[in-house]
Amino acid sequence: MKKLFFVPALALAMGLASCAGNSEKKVDNTASTETATPEATPAETTVPGIENVTLSNQWTVEGNDQMQYNINLIRVKAGEPVELTLKNVGSQPKEAMGHNLVILKPGVDVTTFGGEASQAADSEYIPKSALSSIVAHTKLLGPGEQDKITVTLEKGVYDYICSFPGHFGIMKGKIVAE
């Protein structure tokens, strides 16, 4: 009986070991390929797909009733004013499906910030305890509303989210300032 269990266990162990070896090789090859490209900028190697995004300092982002932004990757010129407009194109009431756009400083943990934001209903889900983590934010918008912010960003990668409870896990994107 013990021999019957040994053979499948051995086969499973060998299969897992061979899969782990292949994934390590893929990671190593990818890293060496990225660093070997002399024309690649730091933003291009850290944010996949940024090379396909138009460089512009004027963007309009839409939030909808499916808890989605229509744009998840924004490319801007660092050191110059950036104008971001958020439009809530949904139809559900603000109390049930409000949206905002919060630009976080580089390195801010999105999950921690989102947890704090969900407890800040009195300040439209912008936690006063985390104001030092925020670069800029729009107002919380109901259906058909829009808000515009202007900000100048230093070179770097910035997360942006909707801080309405439960939205930050889906409604998120990145701004690359180069």
Is pLDDT of 80 > 50? yes
Give the DSSP H/E element, type plus range, for residue 115.
helix 110-118
Average of per-residue pLDDT values in the chain: 82
| Measured CA distances, 164 to 14, 80, 144 (Å) | 47, 29, 17
Cβ-based neighbours of 153, under 8 Å, separated by 6 or more: 76, 78, 79, 82, 103, 135, 175, 177
Residue-wise pLDDT tens digits, 112-160: 999 999 999 999 999 999 999 999 999 999 999 999 999 999 999 999 9
User: 104 and 110 in contact (C-beta within 8 Å)?
Assistant: yes
* Angle 79-80-83 from CA coordinates, rounded to 5°: 130
pTM for the structure as a whole: 0.75
- Return the pLDDT at 69: 98
